[in-house]
Chain A
């Protein structure tokens, strides 16, 4: 187990380096520099940044210095990250929270009453949540809930009321995904032999469900968490934009537009590192939850 973790950790290093390299290479290709008029003298420090060698950049990342922003002259990438990243994290966690809070129970209940009206209803809702583009959902939610009925604010990220709509919108797809996934795996598990055996033995349904079924059904939820993290990051670009959430998703697009190399690289590297470590955590959790995989994984 420990060996596995260490091995995985070791492997993350070349991957992160490669991501940095790819991003670095990509950014250098982009035409256009952040300074509008090229005859203007570029300050020495900034010029040095433009020509930064890959090695120096990596050293910077390792020590936690992501460099200055080339466009926002008074702020460094670290500043931007420090100020705005927590908002994105909060948004993502809340979205995930909605997904677990509503999606998992929906899936469980649907599985316990297969083919009932609840089942159909839940699966219907989940399919819609999955398919409707989130910018439409966001626009409609803001219109009805905020403008028309005045229940919640239209945008911003200050009070808890502000946080409901954006996180809900972002959480819809993971919610739908969880509902279907949990329902599917629970149904499978419910029909497994050992469950039937338990029922034959007379164990109460509730006990069976909580002890055996839930545990096995939660495994795919954990596995799904990693790609869902990718979705949450992606979705956040749009949701942050529409709901005026001061996070880094929104700033990413602006930064690419403005050719702010440092910010783009810094954010891409940061996001990638997070995802990579999240994968690691998920994989470890997975081996904890499902002993069968431990041997298969080594």
Chain B
């Protein structure tokens, strides 16, 4: 057994009883900080979010102002990302697009989490035949591609805006989360302290609310950063297929679609939002890896 494992055991991370909760998080935090890659990714991520929030506020350019005289300019001091077909500043628009893309990303992710947690918690907690039924059901649905259902959902709702995107992206994407949550709950359920709590007479919602769910929090946080890239790419795909946010609002995906036709003469219009997406996806992946390493010390340092 390595030193890390022994240290882990002593810190009581296996038990996860409420008393130990804070030290679990502190440990995790410390471990995360030691992972320089993950820290860098988190920093970049935070920077991007700040950039998205702040830039439109301080920018001297109106992101929707049409000025054909300055159309298609390349990067310059006044327009760090250049301008698009309408002469609109891409730096500001990319930041605004980030607000929408990241916003949809988080909103959809939380929706996915919500559905997944409810499904997984019910299944794992109740157990028995219901669990069996729900899980068999889930097994079968497991790999269903979200895109056809997202397209259908958008077609039903009719117009595409922030919240309809969120709905479309989450209805068929929660299967993995549900399975993970259920797995967590089942593992934790067998713990002594939970049995003890039940024996003492704590109601099921108490057990769920005070013992089980808080301890799945770690897994959920990881899941957020695992689902985020998928949702953001999903929104980009839908925009690319023409089902994006209505103008003049734009997300990174719809900006990329706008830029595709003119990529020969003006590649920056498609490249910049695509790189923004890529950067965000990369950061989210690294953060997720870092969190996973931090929260589960049994995974070896590799």
Contacts and interface: CB of A to CB of B under 8 A. Distances in A.
Is there a direct interface between A and B, measured as CB atoms under 8 Å apart in the complex? Answer: yes
Interface of A: 7-8, 11-12, 14-16, 19, 23, 26-27, 29-31, 114, 127-128, 130-133, 135-136, 139, 143, 184, 187-188, 191, 226-227, 229-231, 233-234, 237-238, 241, 252-253, 256-257, 264, 267-268, 271-272, 275-276, 278-280, 283
A41 B149 CA distance: 31
What DSSP secondary structure best describes chain A's contact surface? helix
B229 interface: yes
A231 B242 CA distance: 19
A7 B135 CA distance: 12
B241 A253 contact: yes
A233 B145 contact: yes
A237 B285 contact: no
9 contacts: A19-B141, A127-B285, A128-B278, A230-B146, A238-B237, A238-B241, A252-B151, A256-B152, A276-B144
A264 B140 contact: no
A29 B302 contact: no
A16 B143 CA distance: 13
Contact of B285 (A130, A191, A241, A283): A130
Contacts of A226: 142-143
Interface string B268-279: 001100100111
Contacts of A14: 137
Given A131-B229, A136-B271, A253-B151, 9 more contacts: A8-B136, A19-B141, A30-B155, A130-B229, A135-B260, A135-B274, A253-B241, A271-B145, A279-B139
B281 interface: yes
Q: Which 4 pairs, one residue from A and one from B, show the smallest C-beta to C-beta distance? A: A15-B140, A131-B281, A226-B143, A131-B278
Interface residues of B, number: 46
Interface of B: 136-137, 139-149, 151-153, 155-156, 158, 176, 229, 233-234, 236-237, 240-242, 253, 256-257, 260, 263-264, 270-271, 274, 277-279, 281-282, 285, 299-300, 302
Contacts of A16: 140
Contacts of A12: 140
Contacts of B277: 131-133
Contact of A26 (B156, B257, B302): B156
B140 A233 contact: no
A26 B300 contact: no
B286 to A, nearest CB: 8
Nearest to A111: B302
B178 to A, nearest CB: 13
A136 B152 contact: no
Contact of B302 (A7, A135, A187, A233): A187
B146 A234 contact: yes
Contacts of B236: 133, 135
Contacts of B152: 23, 26-27, 30, 256, 264, 268
B139 A272 contact: no
A133 B148 contact: no
